[in-house]
A and B are shown apart, each in its own frame.
Chain A
Amino acid sequence: GNSVTQMEGPVTLSEEAFLTINCTYTATGYPSLFWYVQYPGEGLQLLLKATKADDKGSNKGFEATYRKETTSFHLEKGSVQVSDSAVYFCALSASYNQGGKLIFGQGTELSVKP
């Protein structure tokens, strides 16, 4: 079945450090891949997405590339800020005949210290 695995948190970084959060997936067909961010007490916000192999999603300095050969969608940012502190979820969208459900990873908590 479909599944998403993320690196465990919490991840603690100093401001301006480089960020990588690993995400790998298992899926049938060709899913779309997403990164969502959740700030404390809030719902999820879409950070970026990629719909086919080799696509790169980017937003607010974050990037992730859809790598079919390694079934990965790692999230990166060159220089994190305190305001990036949040929980990050990697997700894939199941195929149409599976209802297009989102399958989430377990989430990775990021804490950025000044």
Chain B
Amino acid sequence: GAVVSQHPSRVICKSGTSVKIECRSLDFQATTMFWYRQFPKQSLMLMATSNEGSKATYEQGVEKDKFLINHASLTLSTLTVTSAHPEDSSFYICSARWFRDYNEQFFGPGTRLTVL
């Protein structure tokens, strides 16, 4: 149980285009989902927290107009990188938390974004 999927696993796009990444909890209802960014050889940086049916809460320094997060259902959250630029290239990881265990998050396999 407690499986989180991400799609796509890898995406290459041209500078200026927008890219959408999906995060799904496959066998549980995720009241909260988190989006992280990870640079090579570095730790995870929390970008935002999203609760189903409400606006995402962004961490300081993260541009909310550039990284649009939607958590429309208890099993799906999406991250849209708008007008992507090469500096947005990174590994994006989502995680999900369910109401029964506030302390534990289940992680997706990550999405590698490369902006040319």
Contact = CB atoms under 8 A, between A and B. Distances in A.
Given A99-B57, A100-B102, A44 B49 contact: no
B97 A43 contact: no
B57 A106 contact: no
Interface residues of A, number: 23
Contacts of B110: 41-43
Contact of B104 (A49, A96, A105): A49
Given A49-B104, A102-B105, A106-B42, A43 B93 contact: yes
A20 B110 CA distance: 27
A43 B108 contact: yes
A11 B44 CA distance: 20
B44 A101 contact: no
Contact of B43 (A89, A93, A96): A89
A23 to B, nearest CB: 13
Nearest to A106: B43
A106 B105 CA distance: 18
Nearest to A51: B103
Interface string A40-69: 011111100101000000000000000000
A100 B110 CA distance: 21
6 contacts: A32-B103, A44-B93, A49-B103, A49-B104, A93-B102, A102-B105
Give the 8 A-B residue pairs with the shortest CB-CB distance, closest first. Answer: A32-B103, A44-B107, A43-B109, A43-B107, A43-B110, A93-B103, A104-B43, A106-B43
